[in-house]
Chain A
Amino acid sequence: MKGEAVSGGGSGSLIERLDALYEYDREPVSEKKLHGWKTFIAMFAGEHVAGTEFVLGPLMVMHGVSAKDFFLGLLVGNILAVLSWALMTAPVAVKTRLTIYWQLRKIIGPYLTIAYSAFYAVILCLLAGAMVTVAVTAISIPFGIPNPDYVAGDLIPSIPWMGLALVVGVVIAALAVLGFEKIATFSKICAPWMVLVFFAAAIAVLGKLGATSFSDFWQIANDKIFTGVPIGNNSKYTFWHVAGFAWLCNAPQHLGMSDVTIFRYAKSWTQGFASAFGMFLGHFGAWIASGILCAAFLSEGFVNPQPGAIGLYGAGIAGAISVVIAGWTTANPTLYRAGLAIQVATPNWKRWKVTFAAGAFMIFTACIPAVNANLDRIVSYNALFFVPLGAFVLMDVWVFPKLGLISNFTEKSRKLFSWPAAIAWVGSFLICFIVYGKDHLAWMKSMLNGGLPSWLDAINMDLTYLIAPEWILASLMYVGFSYYQQKSAKNTQLIAEGGLS
């Protein structure tokens, strides 16, 4: 399959619209606009102590991870995440100083970039919906509306709960239309306070678990918090699940390279290490804290450890308010970005209409309790889907010149579509999805019905384990197909004529 060459003005209005949306950041960032460490430390610390942290710590408790596996897994996973940002994302960003949109536009062409935007919009709406759920779990408390309990079999919430989700969703969508920047500023102001609320709530309830001094913590962690026994029908998580998830829950941002958009403002690639502040405050400290809160909550005989309930339990009204703020401040920018991505496909719609359309989908997903109960799975699918694109960027920027291949070949050859990227993206994703699905998805099991070769059938891997192999597979496929493409007779002639250098 060959990419269609740009001819005259017939490149299609869809591409022009997409380019126009991102027109303001078409050029690389100038030297004058570069930021120091302080900016990145504040940004990461603020962004990674969010509503999701109230969900993910308890999820690990519910999946029966042991204390040793949890702490070691978080340590290893978060170090790997920081290294991914520092050694992969930031160096590419500092070298090219382009947004992910323009970086991808040059490498994979506009058509695949549109596909990327569309899929990205869907996943952003899902994540925003999860955050609405987080906020509603707290808002529902004063109204006496019970939160849906997925573990107990609640597949949809009650009508009053859905009414609250509708109100919260509409408010979030309205605020996203009115002023995203102000919400982002408010979110940064909340961050230091919110971190302390997490820690304070956890410390305050440690006594309820039987701890009398901080030296008891490890014993209590083993016996009462991270017991190693799954709750309900949840599967058992191990060190590898925790490490894999801690590393890859932000994979679209680091391995997937979407944070080049942020790090293009860095003075040096070493500022990628600023991500450690987000990882170790949010994905280490806050996950441990919310795990403690969840365990203490359950130990008192309560059920359904929803964010609002555990926040209120550990920190009173301030805790419940922090849950609302955490959900709201995360949902808002997420919805805004989803609206921006959707706008590509809705040319004649005003921004407010697009944002409300995304908001409607967000509210719908908020009303599905399975979304938050499986948030780790959704985040893992998200990583599995977008990580190959980051591999292409890294290969194109760093490896292609060393192999004598031309970087940004699609743009330079004025093609609209990169078939090597398309095959490597779809191929690596599908292969990994099948490897996972053959053991974990009932419909795929019955569809394949033992039809796979025995060596493939013998591989049994969780979703998070597959993301690193997928990255390698996508890289190899992309480099291999690009080599074939660039060495084909027609393109060799073009390169020889100097048209693609």
Chain B
Amino acid sequence: MKKVLIIVSFIGLLLTIIPSILVFEQFIELKSHFHLMVAGMIMWFATAPFWMKSKSLDEEESN
């Protein structure tokens, strides 16, 4: 399950950055880039909190 969440998160990040390159190369319109970025944002925030661990400095590091 965790692997699936990580994959979806990374697809979200790809959807955030790749459309901008496609706009620059004139493959897609700016509006499509905006829509794809929203999709990427939703995918990232819907999945990343479930697998991204965040420890405070006060906690001991295990590795």
Q: Which residues of A contact B (CB under 8 A)?
A: 32-36, 39, 181, 184-186, 188-189, 192-193, 196-197, 199-204, 206-207, 211, 262, 265, 315-319, 321
- B55: nearest residue on chain A (CB-CB)? A39
Which of B16, B33, B48, B57 is the one whose CB lies under 8 Å from A265?
Answer: B57
Minimum CB–CB distance for A36 against chain B, Å: 6
Across the interface, A203 reaches (CB within 8 A) one of B20, B34, B58, namely B20
The answer for the CA separation of A199 and B54 in the assembled complex, in Å, is 24
Cα distance A206–B59 in the bound complex, in angstroms: 44
A35-B57, A262-B57 in contact; A316/B34 too (CB < 8 A)?
Answer: yes
Cβ–Cβ < 8 Å partners of A189 in chain B: 45, 48-49, 52, 54
Complex contact A185–B54 (CB within 8 A):
yes
**Range for the number of chain B residues in contact with chain A:** 20 to 34
Q: How far is the CA of A200 from the CA of B12 in the complex (A)?
A: 13
Binding site for A on B (CB under 8 A): 12-13, 16-17, 19-21, 23-24, 26, 30-31, 33-35, 37-38, 40-41, 44-45, 48-49, 52, 54-61, 63
> Given A32-B60, A197-B16, A211-B24: A317 and B54 within 8 A (CB)?
no
Given contacts A186-B49, A192-B44, A193-B41, 18 further A-B contacts (CB under 8 A): A33-B59, A33-B60, A36-B63, A39-B57, A39-B61, A184-B56, A189-B45, A193-B16, A193-B40, A193-B44, A202-B20, A203-B23, A204-B23, A204-B33, A315-B37, A316-B34, A317-B37, A318-B37
When the two chains form their complex, are residues A206 and B24 in contact, meaning their CB atoms are under 8 A apart? yes
Q: Which residues on the A side are within 8 Å of B45 (C-beta)?
A: 189, 193
Is the pair B35, A200 in contact by a Cβ cutoff of 8 Å? no
**Chain A residue with minimal CB distance to B44?**
A193
A207 touches B38 (CB 8 A): no
Q: Could you give 21 example pairs across A and B, Cβ below 8 Å?
A: A33-B57, A35-B61, A39-B55, A184-B54, A185-B54, A189-B48, A189-B49, A193-B13, A193-B40, A197-B37, A200-B19, A201-B20, A204-B24, A204-B30, A204-B33, A207-B24, A211-B24, A262-B57, A315-B37, A316-B34, A317-B37
List the B side residues contacting A265 at CB < 8 Å. 57
The residue on A at minimum CB distance from B41 is: A318
The minimal Cβ–Cβ distance linking B56 to chain A, given in whole angstroms, is: 7
Report whether over half of chain A's contact residues are helix, strand or loop; otherwise say mixed.
helix
Of chain A, the residue at the smallest CB distance from B14 is A196
Q: B residues within 8 A CB of A192?
A: 13, 44, 48
Also in contact, A200 and B16, with CB within 8 A (given A315-B34, A317-B34): yes
A368 nearest CB across to chain B (Å):
31
In the complex, what residues of A have CB within 8 A of residue B56's CB? Answer: 181, 184
